[in-house]
């Protein structure tokens, strides 16, 4: 009944299971996400990784500072359901549109007309602040990894065991691509991750989107140790 890494270590004796030199997040720090109650509350945000009617999941987080205070998932999103859910969460938790971000690639682009002032997250757009990343997605994941490793994220919301295991599995797959011919920091391709875990990493993507507010005028962000 344990997560995959614990099973590998204790059941199969594979103590080096998470010793991937390219992994960005330490396994023990991933597990700490559910006990980091020292993380303060703060301004509220909504981050959403949009999916349609296929096998991917529409994942939504509500944040208080760097605390995850609510999580929703939609297995089937016909557009209207997604808009309705974000609107319900926006009203319930009093989140202004400017504190909402969503995956604007592909099907997610339809949200632009429903949430004016929200921040569309374009994964392959240029990194912000002139930092040396392949794209915005890589920049946000590297920064999220550093914050998790520093014990700076807390999942306050009580996830069911299946969701928790899926998130752990996805965060374990956050890896640096060693091939950087252009000198920029990049992630292992999403298609490789999908082939490894058998699905899209929707939960971890929605978590990484939270970083965009650190990179804009909302808050000041520190320089990464990776750079």
Compare 158 and 109 and report the one with higher pLDDT.
158
Name the strands in the sheet holding 67-74, side by side, starting at the edge strand that comes first in the sequence.
119-121, 100-103, 44-49, 58-64, 67-74, 154-155
Distance CA 202, CA 127 (A): 21
pLDDT tens digit string along 125-169?
A: 999 988 999 999 999 999 999 999 999 999 999 999 999 999 999
Compare 75 and 162 and report the one with higher pLDDT.
162
Phi-psi region of 130 (alpha: psi -120 to 50; beta: other; left: phi over 0): left
Q: Is the per-residue pLDDT at 96 higher than 80?
A: yes
- pTM score, two decimals? 0.85
Q: Is the per-residue pLDDT at 46 higher than 80?
A: yes
- Cα distances from 81 to residues 52, 75, 225, in angstroms, run 10, 10, 40
């Amino acid at each position: 009944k344990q997560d995959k890494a614990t099973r590998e270590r204790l059941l199969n004796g594979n103590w080096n299971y998470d010793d991937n030199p390219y992994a960005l997040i330490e396994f023990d720090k991933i597990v700490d996400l559910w006990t980091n109650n020292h993380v303060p509350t703060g301004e509220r945000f909504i981050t959403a990784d949009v999916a349609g009617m296929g096998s991917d999941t529409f994942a939504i987080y509500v944040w208080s500072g760097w605390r995850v205070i609510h999580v929703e998932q939609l297995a089937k999103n016909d557009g209207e359901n997604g808009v309705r859910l974000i609107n319900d969460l926006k009203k319930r938790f009093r989140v202004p549109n400017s504190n909402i971000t969503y995956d604007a690639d592909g099907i997610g682009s339809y949200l632009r007309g429903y949430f004016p002032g929200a921040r569309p997250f374009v994964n392959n757009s240029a990194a912000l602040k002139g930092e040396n990343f392949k794209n915005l997605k890589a920049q946000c994941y590297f920064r999220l990894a550093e914050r998790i490793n520093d014990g700076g994220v807390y999942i306050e919301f009580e996830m069911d065991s299946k969701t928790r295991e899926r998130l752990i599995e996805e965060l374990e797959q956050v890896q640096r691509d060693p091939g950087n011919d252009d000198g920029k920091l990049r992630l292992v391709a999403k298609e490789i991750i999908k082939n490894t875990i058998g699905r899209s990493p929707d939960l971890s993507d929605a978590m990484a989107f939270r970083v965009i507010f650190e990179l804009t005028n909302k808050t000041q962000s520190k320089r990464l140790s990776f750079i």
